[in-house]
A and B are shown apart, each in its own frame.
Chain A
Amino acid sequence: MTDSSTPAVDIENAAKRYGDFTAIKSMSLSIRDNEFFTLLGPSGCGKTTLLRMIAGFEDVTEGAIFLFGSEIEQLPPNKRPVNTVFQNYALFPHMTILENVSFGLEMQGNSRVDAHKRAGEMLELVQLSEFAQRKPAQLSGGQQQRVALARALAPSPRVLLLDEPLSALDLKLRKAMQIELKHLQRETGITFIFVTHDQEEALTMSDRIAVMSAGELQQLGEPRDVYERPRNRFVADFIGDTNLLEVAITDIADNLASCHVQGGHQIQCGASEGVSKGMTAHLSVRPERLLLSAAPAEEGSLRASVKENIFVGTDITTLLTLDGGPDLTVRTSNSARGAARVFDPGADVFVTVEAGAARLLIN
C-alpha cells in the first residue's frame, strides 16, 4: 500500500495539443487516494481528453502524469491499474454480460473459472445476475451502464475513470445511479475520477470538483467551496444560477468594498484579493440569497419592481428590475411562502442581499 498522502493521480503541467489546437493547456492537479473527484466543464473543454491521457489512450504533449507516485508516460493502457467506464459503454457486443465482466479478470491472468465466479459476484453487486447470459444489445441503457461499471470494477483497479456514464439515462434512473455510484465508491475505496457537464450532478456526488473551461483549470475545491466562493465569473455562472452584476468599486474600508451598481444602487461586500478602489468588477449573488420585502430593511435595500413570478415546484423564482439598473433573479423557497410574501408583477419591492452572500469577482 502506498502511503495515504501520495496522490492517486498527479498531473504536472500536462498539456495536450492536436496540431495547432490546444485541447489541454498546461494543467496541474492532484487527485487524492480514495477520493470521488469530478471533472466538470462545458462540452469541448477537454474533460474526455484529460481522462484519455490518464488512461493512456492519448499521449501527453508536455508535462507528466504520475500514478501513485510513478511516472506512467511509458506504460501502455493495458499496463495501467486504471479502468474506464466509457461514455458509450463500449461493451463487447459478441460476448455475454458475464463474459464482458470477466474479460478484464481473465486478461489479468485469472483462470476462466475464477474470473467467472468473481464476475458473477460483480453482477450481483449491480443487481444484474439474471441477465448474465444475455448479450449487451438485449439490455436497456441503464442496465448496460451498470454492466460497464461492473466490468470496470471487477479487476479492482486503483483508479476508476468514468466519462459521463449517466448522461444517457433518464432523470429518475440517473438520480438513483448517482446514489449507487457514491455508495459504491465509499464501499470499495477506489479513487473515482468522474466526468460530467452537469453541475448539479457534480455538486451532489463529489468530494472535490475541478471546474474546467477551454482546456484550463478554473477552480478546484469542495462542492460547497466552489458553489459559495467561485473564483471567477465563469465558475460563478457555470455552477448553479447566479446574478452577475457589473459594479464599480467606489470605496474600500475595513476590508469592505462599496460597490456601485448602475441605477445608483450601493451594495456592500467583502473585498477579495486584488480589489482596489476605482476598478470595475462583477458581483455574484445566488438567487436564493436575496430577500424581498415591501419595506426597506435596516442594513440597506435596493428598490426594484417585479417583472414576473415563475413557479418551479419547490421554489418560486421572481424576476425583477432594479430601478434604473439591471435585472435580478430571486428565489424563494415554496415552504416559506406563508412568511415570505409573493409580490405581483408590477409591484414595487425592496431587495436585500443576505450578509456575506455577495461575492466580488475581478475576472
Chain B
Amino acid sequence: MAGGGVHASSGPVAETYARARHQLLIPAWAVLLIFVAVPVAMMLIYSFLTKEFRGGVIWEFSLAAYDQFFFDRGLFGDEPPKFEWTYVTIFWRSIWQAGLATILSLLIGFPTAYFIATRPEKTRAIWLFLVTIPYWVNLLIRTVSMKFLLRDQGPMNDALLALGVLEEPLRIINTNLAVQLGLFYSYLPFMVLPIYAAVERYNFTYSEAAADLYASKWATLRRVVLPVVKPGVIAGCILVFVPSLGAFLAPDLLGGAKNFMIGSLIEEQFKGNAGNWPFGAAASMILLTLVIIVLLISTTQQRKTREPG
C-alpha cells in the first residue's frame, strides 16, 4: 500500500496528519452515508416487511418476499417446499443478456477505444466527443428510436431489402438479440471511455519492444497490450455489465413480454397499485448481492495483475 509507512509511524506529527485526513474525509463519508448506506438499509428492511395491497408496507416482520422468490409452495406450509424457477430464470436470463451485451460492447468498444487513443492528440477529443454525442439524448428516447430502427418495416430492414441484401425483413424486435443490441447501445461509452483511458496511458514502446522480440501483431496484442490495459477493460466490463443487469427500458421496449429482465420485475413491484414492495426490495437485495459478487471477483482479478507474482 502506498504511503503505508507514513501511517505506521506514530508521534505527534503522524497523529496530526491522521486527524486532518479523517476530517477531510467527512464530506465523502456523508455522501456515502446519505446516498448509499441509508437507501440500501431501507431496501434491506423493506424486504423483510409485509406487503400492503395497494403498494407500501405494513411494519411487520416477514420472510414472505424471499419465500415467494425462491419457493413455489410456501417454505412454511405443510407440504415440503418446492423450488420456484420463475424468478431465478428471470435472473439467469438477465445475467445472460447483460453478459452478451458486455461481450458485444467489448468487441466493438475495444477497437474503438484503441483507435481513438492512437489518433494524434488533437483529434482524440473530437472522436471522444462523437462517441458521447448520442448520450446527450435521454435513454428512453434513444431506446424508442432503436425500436423504430429495428422494426420489421423500419429503416434498417427497408435499406437492407432495397439493397437486396435480404429477401425478407429481419425479425429482430422482441427477440433476445434486440435486447442485447439495446443494452449495447445504451452503455457502449462506459466501455469505450475506461479502455480509452488505459490505452492512452499505455506506453507504446512496449509494443515496439514486443515486435523487436519477434512477436507478431496478434501476439503483441494478446501478450502485451491486453494484459497492460486489463484494468481499463475490467472497469469497462463492470460499467456495462452492472447497469445492463438491472436495466428495464431496453428489455421492456425491445424485448417484449417474453424477454423480461430483473429490472422490469423490480420496476413492476413499485408501479401503481399492483406492486409488492417487499418483493421488489427482496429482488433488489438479491440483485445487489450478485453485483457485489461480480465486483469482488473482478477486484481480486485486478489485484492479481498488479501484485507481483
* Residues on A facing B (Cβ under 8 Å): 55-57, 76-79, 82-84, 86, 88, 90-94, 96, 103-104, 107-108, 133-135, 138, 151-152, 155
Q: How far is the CB of A108 from chain B (nearest CB, A)?
A: 5
Closest to A94 in B: B227
**Total number of A-B contacts with CB less than 8 angstroms?**
69
Q: How far is the CB of B28 from chain A (nearest CB, A)?
A: 29
Given contacts A94-B227, A96-B308, A138-B308, contact A86 B205 (CB under 8 A): yes
Whether the Cβ atoms of B211 and A78 lie closer than 8 Å is yes
Whether the Cβ atoms of B214 and A78 lie closer than 8 Å is yes
B185-219 interface mask toward A, CB cutoff 8 Å, 1 = contact, 0 = none?
00000000000000000010110111111111001
Chain B residues in 8 Å Cβ range of A138: 308
What 8 A-B pairs come out closest when comparing CB atoms?
A104-B213, A107-B214, A90-B209, A77-B211, A90-B205, A135-B308, A94-B227, A107-B215
Q: A90-B206, A93-B228, A94-B305 are in contact. List 18 more A-B contacts (CB 8 A).
A: A55-B212, A77-B212, A78-B213, A84-B208, A84-B212, A86-B208, A88-B205, A90-B203, A90-B205, A90-B209, A91-B209, A92-B206, A92-B210, A92-B224, A103-B215, A107-B215, A135-B308, A155-B213
Closest to B219 in A: A107
Closest to A96 in B: B309
Given contacts A92-B224, A94-B228, contact A76 B211 (CB under 8 A): yes
Chain A residues in 8 Å Cβ range of B215: 78, 103, 107
Q: Which one, B203, B210, B230, B309, contacts A103 given CB within 8 A?
A: B210
Q: With A and B bound together, what is the CA distance between A108 and B203 in angstroms?
A: 23
Closest to A87 in B: B205
Chain B contributes a number of interface residues (CB within 8 A of A) equal to 21
Main secondary structure of the interface of B (DSSP, over half): helix
Interface centre among B214, B228, B309 (most CB of A within 10 A): B214
Q: With A and B bound together, what is the CA distance between A186 and B205 in angstroms?
A: 29
Chain B residues in 8 Å Cβ range of A92: 206, 209-210, 224, 228
B171 in contact (CB, < 8 A): no
Closest to B204 in A: A90
Q: With A and B bound together, what is the CA distance between A55 and B212 in angstroms?
A: 7
Chain B residues in 8 Å Cβ range of A103: 210, 213, 215, 223
Q: How far is the CB of B250 from chain A (nearest CB, A)?
A: 36
Q: How far is the CB of B221 from chain A (nearest CB, A)?
A: 13
Closest to B227 in A: A94
Q: How far is the CB of A83 from chain B (nearest CB, A)?
A: 6
Q: Which one, A104, A133, A152, A155, contacts B309 given CB within 8 A?
A: A133
Whether the Cβ atoms of A78 and B212 lie closer than 8 Å is yes
Chain A residues in 8 Å Cβ range of B212: 55, 77-78, 82-84, 152
Given contacts A93-B228, A94-B227, A94-B305, contact A108 B214 (CB under 8 A): yes
Q: Which one, B216, B223, B224, B309, contacts A78 given CB within 8 A?
A: B216
Q: Which one, A86, A90, A94, A104, contacts B214 given CB within 8 A?
A: A104
* Residues on B facing A (Cβ under 8 Å): 203, 205-206, 208-216, 219, 223-224, 227-228, 230, 305, 308-309
Whether the Cβ atoms of B206 and A151 lie closer than 8 Å is no
Q: With A and B bound together, what is the CA distance between A108 and B214 in angstroms?
A: 6
Closest to B307 in A: A135
Q: With A and B bound together, what is the CA distance between A82 and B305 in angstroms?
A: 30
Whether the Cβ atoms of A134 and B308 lie closer than 8 Å is yes
Interface centre among A79, A84, A107, A108 (most CB of B within 10 A): A107
Q: With A and B bound together, what is the CA distance between A79 and B219 in angstroms?
A: 14
Q: How far is the CB of B204 from chain A (nearest CB, A)?
A: 9
Please name 7 pairs of A and B residues whose Cβ atoms are closer than 8 Å in the assembled complex, sorted by A. Answer: A55-B212, A56-B211, A86-B205, A91-B209, A92-B206, A94-B227, A103-B223
Chain B residues in 8 Å Cβ range of A104: 213-214
Whether the Cβ atoms of B208 and A77 lie closer than 8 Å is yes
Given contacts A78-B216, A93-B228, A108-B214, contact A86 B308 (CB under 8 A): no
Chain B residues in 8 Å Cβ range of A78: 210-216
Q: How far is the CB of A197 from chain B (nearest CB, A)?
A: 20
Whether the Cβ atoms of A151 and B208 lie closer than 8 Å is no
Chain A residues in 8 Å Cβ range of B203: 90
Closest to B229 in A: A94
Chain B residues in 8 Å Cβ range of A134: 308
Q: Which one, A57, A83, A88, contacts B213 given CB within 8 A?
A: A83
Chain A residues in 8 Å Cβ range of B210: 78, 92, 103, 107
Chain A residues in 8 Å Cβ range of B209: 84, 86, 90-92
Q: How far is the CB of A352 from chain B (nearest CB, A)?
A: 53
Chain B residues in 8 Å Cβ range of A151: 213
Chain A residues in 8 Å Cβ range of B305: 94
Q: With A and B bound together, what is the CA distance between A85 and B91 in angstroms?
A: 53
Q: With A and B bound together, what is the CA distance between A108 and B206 in angstroms?
A: 18
Q: How far is the CB of B234 from chain A (nearest CB, A)?
A: 14
Q: How far is the CB of A237 from chain B (nearest CB, A)?
A: 33
Q: With A and B bound together, what is the CA distance between A57 and B204 in angstroms?
A: 12
Interface centre among B203, B206, B211, B213 (most CB of A within 10 A): B213
Q: How far is the CB of A45 from chain B (nearest CB, A)?
A: 21
Q: With A and B bound together, what is the CA distance between A104 and B220 in angstroms?
A: 11
Chain B residues in 8 Å Cβ range of A56: 211
Given contacts A92-B224, A134-B308, contact A107 B205 (CB under 8 A): no
Q: With A and B bound together, what is the CA distance between A152 and B212 in angstroms?
A: 9
Q: With A and B bound together, what is the CA distance between A77 and B210 in angstroms?
A: 9
Interface centre among B210, B212, B215 (most CB of A within 10 A): B212
Interface centre among B211, B219, B224 (most CB of A within 10 A): B211
Q: How far is the CB of B7 from chain A (nearest CB, A)?
A: 22
Q: With A and B bound together, what is the CA distance between A92 and B212 in angstroms?
A: 13
Q: With A and B bound together, what is the CA distance between A135 and B304 in angstroms?
A: 13
Q: With A and B bound together, what is the CA distance between A57 and B209 in angstroms?
A: 10
Closest to A93 in B: B228
Whether the Cβ atoms of A90 and B208 lie closer than 8 Å is yes
